[in-house]
Amino acid sequence: MGGDLRSIGHVDAVVSFVGNNPDRFNELMTGLTDDHSVVRMRSADAVEKVTRQHPELLQAHQVFLFEQLQSTTQQEVRWHLAQLMTRMSWDEEEAAVIMRVLTHWAETEVSQIVIFHSLQALFDLSAAHP
């Protein structure tokens, strides 16, 4: 799969195409587990951008995203997952797991972007889960 991890490719066009259409969003979500790192990264970027305006689309995928947060190793996906965690409601137990993962990323990641978004998400989540 071609592409450069330093570019956004056609993400903005995908975001416009998906809009607030749940079926299109569901299809976009499948890219998070694609075999190709470029597809995973661009899918994560598009999911994050779509849900800035339509966070309700995440609700049907909350369990999947919670699992991905705990298993993904790709830094470009991690920073978007950190952003997405703040757009959903979590019970105390789930929030504790998310905070542990994000704290681990903030302490061990090499990527400054992952560290930044992990710390921001921790701050944002702490408002609802002191």
Output the tens digit of pLDDT for each of the chain's 130 residues: 445 545 555 677 888 888 888 999 999 999 999 999 999 999 999 999 999 999 999 999 999 999 999 999 999 999 999 999 999 999 999 999 999 999 999 999 999 999 999 999 999 999 999 8
Write down the pLDDT at residue 2. Answer: 44
Per residue in 12-22, pLDDT (tens digit) is 788 888 888 89
Question: What percent helix, strand, coil does the chain show, rounded to 5?
Answer: 75, 0, 25
In angstroms, the CA 34 to CA 107 distance is 27
Q: CA angle at residue 27 from 109 to 97, to 5 degrees?
A: 35
